[in-house]
Amino acid sequence: MSIVVPEWRRAYDEVRRYSMALAEPLSAEDQGVQSMPDASPTKWHLAHTTWFFETIVLKPYLPGYRPFDERYAYLFNSYYEALGPRHARPQRGLLTRPSLEEVHAYRRHVDESMSTLMTRADPATRDAIEPLITLGLHHEQQHQELIVTDIVHALSCNPLMPAYRPEPSDGEAAPRLRSTRPGPIEWLDRAGGVVGIGHDGRGFAFDNEGPRHDYLLRPYSIAHRLVTCGDYAAFIADGGYARPELWLSDGWAAVQREGWTAPIYWVPGGEKSDQKSGGCGNWRVFGLSGLKMLDPDAPVSNLSFYEAAAYAEWTGARLPTEFEWEAAFDTPGIEQMTGHVWQWTRSAYEPYPGFRPLAGVAAEYNGKFMVGQQVLRGGSIATPPGHTRPTYRNFFPPAARWQFTGVRLVRDN
Amino acid sequence: MSIVVPEWRRAYDEVRRYSMALAEPLSAEDQGVQSMPDASPTKWHLAHTTWFFETIVLKPYLPGYRPFDERYAYLFNSYYEALGPRHARPQRGLLTRPSLEEVHAYRRHVDESMSTLMTRADPATRDAIEPLITLGLHHEQQHQELIVTDIVHALSCNPLMPAYRPEPSDGEAAPRLRSTRPGPIEWLDRAGGVVGIGHDGRGFAFDNEGPRHDYLLRPYSIAHRLVTCGDYAAFIADGGYARPELWLSDGWAAVQREGWTAPIYWVPGGEKSDQKSGGCGNWRVFGLSGLKMLDPDAPVSNLSFYEAAAYAEWTGARLPTEFEWEAAFDTPGIEQMTGHVWQWTRSAYEPYPGFRPLAGVAAEYNGKFMVGQQVLRGGSIATPPGHTRPTYRNFFPPAARWQFTGVRLVRDN
Amino acid sequence: MSIVVPEWRRAYDEVRRYSMALAEPLSAEDQGVQSMPDASPTKWHLAHTTWFFETIVLKPYLPGYRPFDERYAYLFNSYYEALGPRHARPQRGLLTRPSLEEVHAYRRHVDESMSTLMTRADPATRDAIEPLITLGLHHEQQHQELIVTDIVHALSCNPLMPAYRPEPSDGEAAPRLRSTRPGPIEWLDRAGGVVGIGHDGRGFAFDNEGPRHDYLLRPYSIAHRLVTCGDYAAFIADGGYARPELWLSDGWAAVQREGWTAPIYWVPGGEKSDQKSGGCGNWRVFGLSGLKMLDPDAPVSNLSFYEAAAYAEWTGARLPTEFEWEAAFDTPGIEQMTGHVWQWTRSAYEPYPGFRPLAGVAAEYNGKFMVGQQVLRGGSIATPPGHTRPTYRNFFPPAARWQFTGVRLVRDN
Amino acid sequence: MSIVVPEWRRAYDEVRRYSMALAEPLSAEDQGVQSMPDASPTKWHLAHTTWFFETIVLKPYLPGYRPFDERYAYLFNSYYEALGPRHARPQRGLLTRPSLEEVHAYRRHVDESMSTLMTRADPATRDAIEPLITLGLHHEQQHQELIVTDIVHALSCNPLMPAYRPEPSDGEAAPRLRSTRPGPIEWLDRAGGVVGIGHDGRGFAFDNEGPRHDYLLRPYSIAHRLVTCGDYAAFIADGGYARPELWLSDGWAAVQREGWTAPIYWVPGGEKSDQKSGGCGNWRVFGLSGLKMLDPDAPVSNLSFYEAAAYAEWTGARLPTEFEWEAAFDTPGIEQMTGHVWQWTRSAYEPYPGFRPLAGVAAEYNGKFMVGQQVLRGGSIATPPGHTRPTYRNFFPPAARWQFTGVRLVRDN
């Protein structure tokens, strides 16, 4: 999303409205639930993103701004140490108050104040707040993705397995996600050599995407499409979850400790496999629209890094580094690079050479998570339109399974 | 409560309505929250008590009864092993579906079917279901108390500390709870000797209240009133939570592990102690009506057995056995024996001589909890009217603090 | 053991020597190991019992006594809050220093000082220290039993399953432990009525055995012998560990959480059951002499209270109260009341009416454990000669399985 | 260490003897203790390294080899999934049997068989076993370092804080470890550009050190010396452990969860700071020779990656990548690159481009740990002579503190 001065209001309104639209299919009860410490209630996301604008824009820049409720600073801060103490993360699901209605009122209060500020700001203020608002909108978009992944996880914990929202009526969601060439992987050659990596500074990017720098690559080939559910079902059928030699040590420990035997949202069916399952056993897969028969051509999703790496090992290929992924973004013939699943890379999440965090409160935004996590590239069905970029670096711990995360393979040339 | 045939419908309707009335001050969001494994959401209580009638009365006795939703048997069973598998207790707060509205519809469905059954039952059926309905109503009353204690705990976890319901407008709740003689304890002598203990079988009682049997007591004296907040504040002020010699070993371990320094709902005030606190420091106490200034004459509540026992040790007196408590129920001059707080006894929860559990599903009702718990006697402000009796044996683990539990002292003569 | 003045030295020497004899079959490595927080290394027991004499006798009563090492007070205090801070219990196995040799030197140092004190004490000192020394010796005897139970547990954790000591060469250990009438249980009638319970104060007893008081019993019958391994194997064969209706709720939770399927030291055999197992499957049982074929006539041992109670439920009989047990001690025809296994009772460990703890340091000895534990009566093969009495109250938490604990049944008349 | 054919026996004997020499100052009791799951008893290290030779060399290559004890395969396997099931890692401290003497006999048995094999091997066998023996010796050297770090940790858990071994009598250990220029850091410039990284295959190297490949570096400067205890004490004195903005998010969580306020082996002194402490407060530091006054010029050691990174952040410089470190190995004027402390790098432990694990059992050696760990470079005082190389990649999880791990700074040019 490119936000230039005359588009402020439109961008702000669109992003803020989109959050509300995502929550729309959910009851107040649904919006309050937290199914694990890593996830948050929808209501909390709606309030936290609002708190962000209040804290970094309204309080410093709108003269006479009156906070909606001073106590919200405590309730809706997430991890910003510089912004004071916080409600404990695993207890977000206990906040039945403020009610959803009050959070809606909070959003309106802040939106109106933002509108006032954006209307009245003199040029100097405008220069000061424009990057903060831009950051706030991208921040809210990140939480939009979490709204979806977190509620899907919560609903998956309910034995009734309710759907977040009905399947699009035209039945086109799945086809749209499939590769146009779902057959055997085509290996697209990449020559290697010095490539430019990272964002060049034109338009918005997060601090962790820069500085742009040269990186030396060896020749490799990259798969033209993502790994599918059918591909992954074959790995399971071949005993993938019972063969320690395929797994990283920490991954195998997770398999044993957690009793993993399939991706988190795969549910074995009770009846005999039918025609439609295409040799994939009788798996059903839980997702945005509830529990559906596995689609062998759809990208496999909700894998941990450990599962992604074990799968790659099983194929004899490997996961790409984030540099290989980025350099291959525009490779002719490549498909599904964004909008399907985030793609695990072999790269740990580290600072680029010369990396300096943003100044001020945003300093805590990305840099402090640069250990113990793996980089993901691309973007998923839950990523808001316009949010991601080829240089975008998403990151999660290697055991995380509740994001829409999948695999693209590479191999050495 | 005595339920005879002509009063069936009235008793059933009253108890069922009372559950709904208790939930009335709470939003759907409030009714879904579970703040710890030992507590349950209001909505769950509403559904579970309904499931109980459906399972033990409607399914076996109403011909052609169609369950509201077959899946509810899994969701709303609590601990009845004989009645099949169950949703994990700590995950009750994740059930945003069925919605509160659906649970209300479930209650109506069962209530209407119960009405049909009670209207049409022939005498033989009537004889069969009367004790089951009576059990179901007392069961629901037990959950009515839990509805209150569980939501108070949940609200206490919210930094906003919202009230469950407004204080009665006439401000008479606290006075009603105070002793008429709140001064020094008057010690009422009891002669000892053989006393009859337990329920004699006339009218309803739980299986654990019988058989009635003789018990040999030594002479003792019992306090005319409960221990007050003022009494307990003096214990704290005297270093009660820092003196291991006053505590049972497990209690001291809990103090250190959990960092206890006061009862669970006591909040130290930020300002200087004022006149009104009567030497009690500046404590505020969270309860049904939110956070209030400590009332020195009100009974201290929400103590664990460990705290109750340490307090008693500090005074030089002791806790009563459940036999001493029961024998003293009608002692002239004694006050606050029921309707204020459940009173911890020194007695572990064990079977009475000759105890046999109820037959059928109710066999699991009481007997299987007879280890590791302490008996409480009396009844609290959250106990529904008519639910308790002098022979009533409540029980909780010694570390439990979220019930309305307090102390009455005795001493040897 | 009765210790009168002229026998001081002999009693002291005997008890102290017996501790060393128990440790004799063990290497220094063996004596340092701690297999779980509830158990302690042999070396620690040897030092702790020595510290007890140093602390309560030598320091206050032997003029000019020089502690062997001031730091041992920190290392070898167990739970005496009044005696200062302590090394954390679960870390006792980390104390490779002081070495076993140094602990031996510590014992010699204290024994020599005790000898000096006992020789020189004037009558007033003698009166003061006599009860302390007696307490210290009974205390050391308690730890002698723990030396055995703790090392057996530690050795059971070693896949090599080494024996603590060889079986007595004459093979008479097992026969000695069997009932003379190992056939069907004979039920010995007891009339009930008022019985005297507790120690009468003549000779040594622990504070928790008194005061002696009257207790009212109903008529009952008591089994002439202990439950055997053969009896218990039938319970297992009947699905005992898979039938929740037989278990207390906490017990069933332990079965599921810990995966219990048999007593802690029972090992299923790999081969077909042979003649010798007498229909008991092919169980082997780990014990003092290593892993042996199950003896169907030997008393079952190392049961938790939960297992004991479930077994009793399965038989239709029940566990005795501690009062029933004590009253039946001298019943004609009764066998195996002591010296075989401690016998779980249905009684929680509570103070007797009028109980007052010992004064001084010994105040912490028993009273502070009076919640959450069950009373055991009798005495085991590991109880030192002369240590126990009919009024002796042993106690452990209901889940404890590493003591030599078994079952005797009673039933109502 | 370069092992060529005629030197086999000498290399084998030297390495094997060195393990025994390391254990020599320790009693059998000391050698059995395990202070945490990540550490192992000395005795276990002695046996495990022996099992390695038995398993990968003797069993396949020495005809008629009779294992010392078949059960040792279960007891002394560490993490090799391909080599069968294993004794649980956290339970190694429970293995009081086999005794230390038996482990010594095991070593002799294997050493003698190895001697036989090395003497008699025909050229083909020689070619086959030479790389396996070389691997086994480097493997044993790795465990030699762990013998030292693990026992120091165990001894640090003992309140007596005993020394592993006396300080070298000439007092030269510390001076030898100090930089020759302990004053302000001198920043040595490095030009950047393409550098060769990794081992070139001449002589032994672990699989993770290759393949050698080109890497593109930016210009940077590297500190001529390690960070000292004095440097680090200033960080503490400046509130380093209380300032979240200096820490990675996971690091700050560790600080709070574990209560870190200084390096693991730093002990605050009770007395006033004296002259000798050079402004470093009154810290004492536990190490190989027990508790010593902090030496401000000695390299700081036993830091976690989190502490290393927070320290670097505080200085305004940063940690090197492993590529920067390797490229700077021979920089003129650089000191303390090996033999002092392992140096944390900013690089996560990942496969080099084109990495393929060793074949056979050694496949599990390094590759399967390539997630969630950070690379360390250099070598420590506990690294056996000749074991490390400039290309050597050590790795540990970021929270590990019991290794001899420190910091060298770099900064961008």
A216 min Cα distance to partner chain D (Å): 6
Q: At what angle do helices A249-258 and A305-315 cross, to 10 degrees?
A: 120
Nearest CA in chain A to B93: A33
Pick from A29, A44, A75 the residue to mutate for testing the B interface (most B CBs within 10 Å): A29
| Dihedral Cα D290, D293, D297, D301, nearest 10 deg | 40
Taking residues C198-222, report their average pLDDT: 96
Contact C245 B363 (CB under 8 A): yes
Q: Does residue D108 contact residue D100 with C-beta atoms inside 8 Å?
A: no
Nearest to C249 by CA among C306, C180, C188, C324: C306
D193 min Cα distance to partner chain A (Å): 10
Residue A410 parent element (H or E): strand A410-412
pLDDT at C277 over 60: no
Q: Does residue D284 contact residue D266 with C-beta atoms inside 8 Å?
A: yes
Least confident of B201-210, B264-273, C188-197: B264-273
B48 min Cα distance to partner chain C (Å): 19
Chains in touch with D (≥3 Cβ pairs < 8 A) = A, C
Burial of C75 per CB tally in 10 Å (0-12, 13-18, 19+) = buried
Q: Does residue D326 contact residue D270 with C-beta atoms inside 8 Å?
A: no
**Chain B residues within 8 A of A27 when measuring between CB atoms:** 28, 96, 99
**Chain D residues within 8 A of C151 when measuring between CB atoms:** none
Reading chain D (413 residues) residue by residue, the pLDDT tens digits are 444 445 778 999 999 999 999 999 999 999 999 999 999 999 999 999 999 999 999 999 999 999 999 999 999 998 888 888 889 999 999 999 999 999 999 999 999 999 999 999 999 999 999 999 999 999 999 999 999 999 999 999 999 999 999 887 656 666 778 999 999 999 999 999 999 999 999 999 999 999 999 999 999 999 999 999 999 999 999 999 999 999 999 999 999 999 999 999 999 985 544 444 445 678 999 999 999 999 999 999 999 999 999 999 999 999 999 999 999 999 999 999 999 999 999 999 999 999 988 777 777 788 999 999 999 999 999 999 999 999 999 999 999 999 999 999 999 99
Looking at residue B1, its pLDDT comes to 43
Looking at residue B270, its pLDDT comes to 57
Q: Does A159 lie at the interface with B, CB-CB under 8 angstroms?
A: yes
Nearest CA in chain D to C70: D160
Tens-digit pLDDT profile for residues B96-119: 999 999 999 999 999 999 999 999
Tens-digit pLDDT profile for residues C361-389: 777 788 999 999 999 999 999 999 999 99
**3-class SS at D287?**
strand
Q: Does B245 lie at the interface with C, CB-CB under 8 angstroms?
A: yes
Hey, how many other C-beta atoms are within 10 angstroms of the C-beta on C73? 17
Tens-digit pLDDT profile for residues B33-50: 999 999 999 999 999 999
Contact C30 D98 (CB under 8 A): no
Question: pLDDT category, A3, cuts 50, 70, 90?
Answer: very low
B106 min Cα distance to partner chain C (Å): 29
Residues 25-44 of C with CB under 8 A from D: 27-33, 35
Q: Does B189 lie at the interface with C, CB-CB under 8 angstroms?
A: no
Looking at residue C156, its pLDDT comes to 97
Tens-digit pLDDT profile for residues C337-361: 999 999 999 999 999 999 988 777 7
Taking residues B405-412, report their average pLDDT: 98
Q: Does C157 lie at the interface with D, CB-CB under 8 angstroms?
A: yes
- H-only helix segments in B157-300: 173-177, 229-237, 249-258
**Chain D residues within 8 A of A309 when measuring between CB atoms:** 371
Taking residues B376-397, report their average pLDDT: 97
**Chain D residues within 8 A of C31 when measuring between CB atoms:** 29
Nearest to C141 by CA among C227, C12, C39, C55: C12
- Round the average pLDDT of chain C to a whole number and report it: 93
Nearest CA in chain C to B347: C350
DSSP assignment string, D19-35: HHHHHTTS-HHHHT---
Nearest CA in chain C to D74: C159
Question: pLDDT category, A284, cuts 50, 70, 90?
Answer: very high
Q: Are strands A405-406 and A342-348 parallel, antiparallel or unpaired?
A: parallel
**Chain D residues within 8 A of C32 when measuring between CB atoms:** 29, 32-33, 96
A32, A155, A159 member nearest B32 (Cβ): A32
Omega within 30 of 0 (cis) for the link into B98: yes
A27, A33, A75 member nearest B94 (Cβ): A33
Q: Does C356 lie at the interface with B, CB-CB under 8 angstroms?
A: no
Contact A216 D218 (CB under 8 A): no
B244 min Cα distance to partner chain C (Å): 7
Q: Does residue A99 contact residue A28 with C-beta atoms inside 8 Å?
A: yes
Q: Which residues lie closer than 8 Å to D85 by C-beta, 6 or more apart? A: D74, D77
D216, D247, D252 member nearest A194 (Cβ): D216
Q: Which comes out higher in pLDDT, residue A97 or D2?
A: A97
Contact C160 D97 (CB under 8 A): yes
Under 8 Å CB pairs connecting chains A and B tally to 78
D74, D99, D154 member nearest C27 (Cβ): D99
Under 8 Å CB pairs connecting chains A and D tally to 81
Looking at residue A173, its pLDDT comes to 65
Contact B194 C215 (CB under 8 A): no
Give the rounded distance of the alpha carbon of B175 from its chain centre: 22
Q: What is the CA radius of gyration of chain C?
A: 22
Q: Which residue has the tokens 């390695």?
A: D52
Contact A216 D214 (CB under 8 A): yes
pLDDT at A270 over 60: no
Looking at residue C344, its pLDDT comes to 98
Strand order across the A187-190 sheet: A187-190, A220-223, A410-412
The ipTM is 0.94
Omega within 30 of 0 (cis) for the link into D131: no
Taking residues B318-342, report their average pLDDT: 98
Contact A29 B87 (CB under 8 A): no
Nearest CA in chain D to C99: D29
Taking residues A60-81, report their average pLDDT: 94
C190 min Cα distance to partner chain B (Å): 14
Looking at residue C3, its pLDDT comes to 46
Taking residues A47-51, report their average pLDDT: 98
pLDDT at C67 over 50: yes
Question: pLDDT category, C269, cuts 50, 70, 90?
Answer: confident
Contact C370 B81 (CB under 8 A): no
D307 min Cα distance to partner chain A (Å): 13
D246 min Cα distance to partner chain A (Å): 9
Q: Provide, rounded to the nearest whole percent, the portion of chain A with pLDDT above 70.
A: 94
**Chain D residues within 8 A of A194 when measuring between CB atoms:** 216
* Predicted structure pTM score: 0.95
Pick from A27, A31, A91, A96 the residue to mutate for testing the B interface (most B CBs within 10 Å): A96
C114 min Cα distance to partner chain D (Å): 26
Looking at residue D80, its pLDDT comes to 85
**Chain D residues within 8 A of A374 when measuring between CB atoms:** 371
- Round the average pLDDT of chain A to a whole number and report it: 93
Q: Provide, rounded to the nearest whole percent, the portion of chain B with pLDDT above 90.
A: 86
**Chain C residues within 8 A of B368 when measuring between CB atoms:** 247-249, 252
Looking at residue A175, its pLDDT comes to 72
A306, A364, A371 member nearest D250 (Cβ): A371
Q: Does residue A106 contact residue A50 with C-beta atoms inside 8 Å?
A: yes
Least confident of B368-382, C101-115, C345-359: C345-359
- Round the average pLDDT of chain B to a whole number and report it: 93
Pick from C190, C208, C249 the residue to mutate for testing the B interface (most B CBs within 10 Å): C249
Pick from D368, D370, D395, D412 the residue to mutate for testing the A interface (most A CBs within 10 Å): D368
Nearest CA in chain B to A158: B95
Looking at residue A79, its pLDDT comes to 82
Looking at residue B277, its pLDDT comes to 45
Contact A29 B94 (CB under 8 A): no
